[in-house]
Structure 1
Amino acid sequence: MTLPFGRFTGTVYRGHHPMWAYDPLSGAGAARFGGRFNAPGLPTLYTALRPETAWTEAQQGFAFKAQPLTLCAYDVDCTDVLDLTDPNVLAGCQSDMAVLACAWEDLARQKKQPPSWALAERLRAEGAAAIIVPSFAARADARDRNMIFFNWSDALPHRLQVIDDEHRLPKNMSSWTLQ
């Protein structure tokens, strides 16, 4: 099957726990815990197309108390992107919105493979570097979309670079003292 790949150029955003802001390109958190589109062990970088969406995504566990976060912007020029918010692209990937919206955390806790993991695994194997999907965070609306990277680097064709012209991000973990 030939997937309907596209190219994305623009800016995406991610809200980081301040302690982990020294490594905004790692994907290690998703690799450690898993996410909607990756099983544990697979580095994946979850970003949003709007800063408001990044904030909403980062605050999901704290509906009534906003917690501190470091908001980063990224410059993107990436090919091999699938926009799964487009119904035609989603159908061309032989999937549907129910797969994207599955209760992945509950399924993973039950030791069952979530359909969204199976879809992402198949798309990665067929060359997808990134996917664009709706946000499923509480309070998200139709404007809220995420871009999830499976394959990224500081060079084309999957370029993703954090914007930090003034070198404000910490350089290592020693910037923080744990209490």
Structure 2
Amino acid sequence: MRLTGQVYRAHHPRWAFAPASGQGAALHGGRFNPKGLAALYTSRRLETAWLEAQQAFPFKAQPMTLCAYEVDCADVADLTDPAERSRLGIAEADLACAWEDIAARGAIPPSWDLALRLLAAGASGILVRSFAAAAGPRDVNAVFWRWADAPPHRVRAVDDADRLPKDDSSWR
């Protein structure tokens, strides 16, 4: 499918100068990317972006930079659609797996396996329900493995007023 419109991401302010890098995910890994594979985790709603960013801080909300992204991205697999999951041979349990525990044991989480399989088949990203605590049916994420500033895989941070910093010098 082709995903168009806006998505959102709340991230550590330290990285405000590179809101579309995906390097944090490459460094640490994530639910849908093993270490070494860059990924850009975004959400379809502002509220979901905030929920996702605060998972590690359940009692105190931490400062975040909230960005909107313009999207015109082809080759996105809609894993919120049961028929699409069935067609692709993806079980809901693979999406919801305890990926961190599995990876910590030295095994490959099913969610990494499906991400690598979809990427190899030409997918640029996925739509998938949020697994954040308190997430509901409206909380959907868009995870990108291939993105650029222009179509067919456009995912570009909105910064028309040029407010984002150009480098990380404010953090030294």
Q: TM-score range by the shorter chain?
A: over 0.9
**Given the alignment, which residue of 133, 140, 144 partners 1:138?**
133
Instruction: Name structure 2 gaps, 5 residues minimum.
Output: none
How big is the shift at 1:163?
A: 0.3
Shift of 1:117: 0.3
Aligned to 1:3: none
The yes-or-no answer on 1:42 pairing with 2:21 is no
Give the CA deviation at 1:175. 2.2
% identical aligned pairs: 60
Q: What is the Cα deviation at residue 80 of structure 1?
A: 0.3
The aligned residue for residue 14 of structure 1 is 9
The reply to whether residue 169 of structure 1 matches residue 164 of structure 2 is yes
Mark the runs of 5 or more structure 1 residues left unpaired by the alignment. 1-5
Deviations 1:63-90 (A, max 9, x none): 1100000000000001101110000011
Residues 98-117 of structure 1: matches in 2 within 5 Å? 98-117=93-112
1:86 and 2:81 correspond: yes
Q: Counterpart of 1:149?
A: 144
Partner letter of residue 152 of structure 1? W
Matched, 1:77 2:72: yes
Structure 1 residue 19 displacement after superposition: 0.8
Distance 1:29 1:107 in 2: 20
Shift in Å, 1:156 = 1.1
Distance 1:96 1:107 in 2: 17
Give 1:176 deviation, angstroms: 2.2
Cα drift, residue 96 of structure 1 = 1.3
Residue 17 of structure 1: how far off its partner (Å): 0.3
Write the distance in 2 (CA, Å) between the matches of 1:164 and 1:27. Answer: 17
SS of the residue 1:89 aligns to: helix
How far, CA to CA, are the matches of 2:100 and 2:28 in structure 1?
10
SS at match of 1:90: helix
Query: Match of 1:124, SS?
Result: helix
Residue 31 of structure 2 aligns to a residue whose secondary structure is coil
**Dislocated runs of 4+, deviation >2 Å:** none
CA deviation string 1:147-170 (max 9, x = no partner)? 000100011100111000001111
Secondary structure at 2:10 match in 1: strand
The answer to whether structure 1 residue 124 and structure 2 residue 127 are counterparts is no
TM-score between both structures, scaled by the size of structure 1 = 0.95
Give, in whole Å, the separation in 1 of the partners of 2:83 and 2:170: 46
Shift of 1:43: 0.5
One-letter code of the match for 2:98? A
- Is 2:52 aligned against 1:57? yes
Q: Return the alpha-carbon distance in structure 1 between the equivalents of residues 96 and 121 of structure 2.
A: 21
